[in-house]
């Protein structure tokens, strides 16, 4: 292993999904990897303060599951052992969208898993804890990324340990997986470098989530439900997924005002959805928790790839680069795909004498292909008139194309499968440019 190492020590800020998967990748390129996390990391799959979003539904796409299995072979079996519920794609989730209540349920030939975010993260963390050259240090809050006196390279971080003492740690590479990426931006600012341009899609999404015991008389024709409102008039929707421990997690949301924090208000919102499937399932079910809420103002994409030069030894990853409207369930999977890309870059035979200097620019450039499809999914929010940001010029055509494609997918299992493969980020959106498919979609558009 030592002959392929490109540095002695890598340091990861944050033990969320991006930090843990990055640590798994970096273990292949550095003698030693240290992960510094500000939280106490629970030994059980329970909540912690640093990831408040973990109280809400966290769907894992098949691309994310596969990337996690590539980084940690046997990951899917670990997830199953942790109690994750297997789901047949296309069959086990009842999808309700205007005109299709429900969308045809058919087995598309692959399985995924549903579990709580703490259970998914705990499963990954166990695998990272098992890596001989990775150390996870909890209750260490990074305060600052440190640069060399000439500001050309990053040399390590300053952090506060458990006792509040200020410490420094040197590293050949610092990976910022802190979610917000504020430390990276602060460093760029402090050394007089430009900040990356940002593209934002403002949605002011309000989320509320409750957990219920699955009753004995639960419907048997689905394991979960996804309900969409009538866009562009109604942005309300809900996702109910099964969790480990025979539970349902129900997240409801809309663009706009904060949702109620009490159980009655939660049920009333569920009842006000376009369909009653979720309300009927939970109205007599035992509630196991209070109502958790979350406000998500905007999807953000930072264009690090457009920067002219970047400090050697620094790499932001995960949400620090791109945060997506969570409704589409893409963040964890994109983080795992980015970590897989990082691993491939570390394993690629060195083309320069200083592979660490080349790492961030190559990563920023190659991850664009990976971000393109999930970002174009996040752009669907422009269907709502109050969405802020730069609406693509051809958005109306995109929408009409999407509606016609959905109609074809409802009729033709092969097209259904293809759209699910794109949704699960197994294939890029560009597969829709297949001439034969485009001809069929355009014919539907003309009919409409």
Give the footprint of ligand FAD on this chain (CB under 6 A). Answer: 13-19, 36-39, 50-51, 53, 56-59, 141-142, 177-179, 207, 294, 296, 318-320, 326, 329-333, 335
Nearest approach in angstroms of CB 271 to ligand FAD is 22
Query: What is the nearest approach in angstroms of ligand FAD to the Cβ of residue 60?
Result: 6
Q: Which tokens hold the place of 331?
A: 């963040």
Q: Which is nearer to ligand FAD, 26 or 415 (CB)?
A: 26
Q: Please state the closest distance from residue 377 (CB atom) to ligand FAD, in A.
A: 12
- Minimum distance, C-beta of residue 181 to ligand FAD, in the bound complex (Å): 8
Q: How far is the CB of 415 from ligand FAD (least distance, A)?
A: 25
| Smallest separation, CB 407 to ligand FAD (Å) | 26
Q: Please say which residue, 237 or 329, places its beta carbon nearer to ligand FAD.
A: 329
Cis peptide before 102 (omega within 30 of 0): yes
Cα angle vertex 387, ends 384, 390, to 5°? 115
Q: How far is the CB of 440 from ligand FAD (least distance, A)?
A: 31
Residue among 177 and 422 whose Cβ is closer to ligand FAD? 177
Report, in Å, the least distance between residue 94 CB and ligand FAD: 17
Nearer to ligand FAD among residue 119 and residue 177 (C-beta): 177
Q: How far apart are CA 94 and CA 113, in angstroms?
A: 15
Contact 48, 40 (CB under 8 A): yes
In the DSSP assignment, the letter for residue 304 is: G
**Alpha carbon distance 250, 193 (integer Å):** 44
Least distance (Å) between residue 442 CB and ligand FAD: 33
Buried-exposed string 88-109: b where 16+ CB fall within 10 A, e elsewhere = bbbbbbbbbbeeeebbeeeebe
Cβ neighbourhood burial of 424 (10 Å; 0-12, 13-18, 19+): buried
Q: Shortest Cβ distance from residue 212 to ligand FAD (Å)?
A: 18
The C-alpha atoms of residue 8 and residue 158 are separated, in whole angstroms, by: 18
Q: Which CB sits closer to ligand FAD, 325 or 355? A: 325
Residue 344 phi/psi, 5° resolution? Answer: -65, -40
Task: Give 14 or 313: the residue with its C-beta nearer to ligand FAD.
Answer: 14
Q: Which is nearer to ligand FAD, 84 or 404 (CB)?
A: 84
Cα–Cα distance between 153 and 159 in angstroms, integer? Answer: 18
User: Which one, 39 or 234, has the nearer CB to ligand FAD?
Assistant: 39
Q: Give the span between the Cα atoms of 344 and 369, in whole angstroms.
A: 15
Q: How far apart are CA 20 and CA 156, in angstroms?
A: 19
**Identity of the residue, 319 or 441, whose beta carbon is nearer to ligand FAD in the bound complex:** 319
- Considering beta carbons, is residue 42 or 358 the nearer one to ligand FAD? 42
CA gyration radius for the chain?
22
Instruction: State the maximum Cα–Cα separation within the chain, in Å, rounded to a whole number.
Output: 69
CB atoms within 10 A of CB 407: 18
Within 8 A by CB and 6+ apart from 414, the residues are none
- DSSP codes of every residue in 53-107: GGGS-----HHHHHHHHHHSTTHHHHHHHTTPEEEETTTSEEEEBTTBSSPPP--
């Amino acid at each position: 292993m030592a002959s392929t190492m490109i540095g002695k020590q890598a340091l990861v800020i944050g033990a969320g999904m991006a930090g843990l998967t990055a640590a798994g990748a970096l273990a292949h390129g550095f003698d030693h990897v240290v992960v510094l996390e500000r939280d106490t990391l629970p030994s059980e799959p329970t909540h912690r303060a640093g990831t408040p979003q973990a109280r809400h539904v966290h769907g894992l796409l098949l691309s994310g599951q596969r990337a996690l299995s590539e980084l940690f072979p046997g990951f899917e079996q670990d997830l199953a052992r942790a109690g994750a519920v297997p789901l047949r794609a296309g069959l086990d989730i009842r999808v309700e969208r205007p005109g299709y209540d429900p969308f045809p349920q058919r087995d598309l030939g692959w399985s995924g898993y549903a579990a709580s975010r703490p259970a998914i993260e705990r499963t990954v963390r166990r695998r990272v804890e098992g890596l001989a050259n990775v150390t996870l240090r909890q209750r260490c809050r990074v305060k600052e990324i440190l640069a060399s006196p000439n500001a050309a390279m990053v040399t390590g971080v300053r952090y506060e340990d458990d006792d509040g003492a200020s410490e420094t740690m040197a590293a050949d590479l610092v990976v910022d997986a802190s979610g917000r990426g504020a430390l990276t931006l602060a460093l760029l600012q402090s050394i007089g470098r430009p900040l990356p341009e940002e593209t934002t899609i403002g949605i002011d999404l309000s989320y509320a989530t409750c957990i219920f015991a699955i009753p004995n008389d639960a419907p048997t024709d689905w394991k979960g439900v996804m309900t969409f409102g009538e866009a562009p008039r109604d942005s309300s929707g809900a996702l109910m997924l099964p969790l480990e421990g025979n539970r349902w997690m129900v997240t409801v949301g809309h663009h706009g005002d904060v949702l109620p924090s009490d159980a009655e208000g939660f049920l009333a919102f569920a009842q006000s959805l376009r369909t009653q499937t979720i309300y009927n399932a939970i109205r007599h079910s035992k509630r196991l928790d209070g109502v958790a809420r979350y406000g998500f103002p905007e999807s953000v994409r930072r264009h690090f790839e457009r920067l002219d030069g970047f400090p050697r030894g620094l790499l932001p990853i995960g949400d620090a680069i791109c945060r997506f409207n969570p409704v589409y369930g893409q963040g964890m999977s994109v983080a795992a795909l980015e970590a897989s890309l990082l691993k491939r870059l570390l394993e690629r035979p060195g083309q320069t004498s200083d592979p660490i200097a080349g790492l961030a620019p190559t990563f920023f450039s190659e991850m664009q292909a990976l971000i393109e499809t999930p970002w174009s999914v996040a752009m669907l929010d422009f269907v709502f008139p109050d969405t802020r940001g730069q609406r693509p010029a051809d958005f109306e055509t995109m929408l009409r194309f999407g509606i016609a494609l959905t109609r074809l997918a409802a009729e033709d299992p092969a097209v259904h499968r293809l759209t699910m493969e794109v949704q699960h980020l197994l294939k890029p959106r560009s597969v829709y440019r297949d001439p034969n498919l485009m001809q069929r979609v355009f014919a539907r558009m003309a009919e409409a």
